[in-house]
Structure 1
Amino acid sequence: MASSQPLIREDSHDCFRSAAGTVGQAAAIFGMLHRNSAEPAAVHARLAVLTDRSDEFVCELLGAPEAAGRCALGRALHSVVAHLRTAAERASLHHTTALVDELTEVIAIVEECGQHTARSLTAPLNFLEAQRYRAEIQRLADDADDAFRRLFARWYFDTEDLMAVAGMRELGDELENVVQAFESVADAVLVRDRRLG
Structure 2
Amino acid sequence: MNEISDRYRRTQDAFDAVLAAVPEDRWHAASACEHWTVRDVTGHVIWGLEVLRQHAGGQEFAVENGPAGSEKPGELAGDDPLAEWRATRSATDAVVTDEMLLRPAPTWYVANRPDATVTDYLALLTFDTLVHTWDIGSALGVDVRMDPDLIAPSFSLARLIISRTPGTFGPRVKPPADADAQARFLAFLGRST
TM over 0.5: no
More helix per residue: 1
Larger radius of gyration: 1
Q: Larger relative contact order (C-alpha < 8 A, sep ≥ 6)? A: 1
User: TM-score under structure 1 normalisation?
Assistant: 0.37
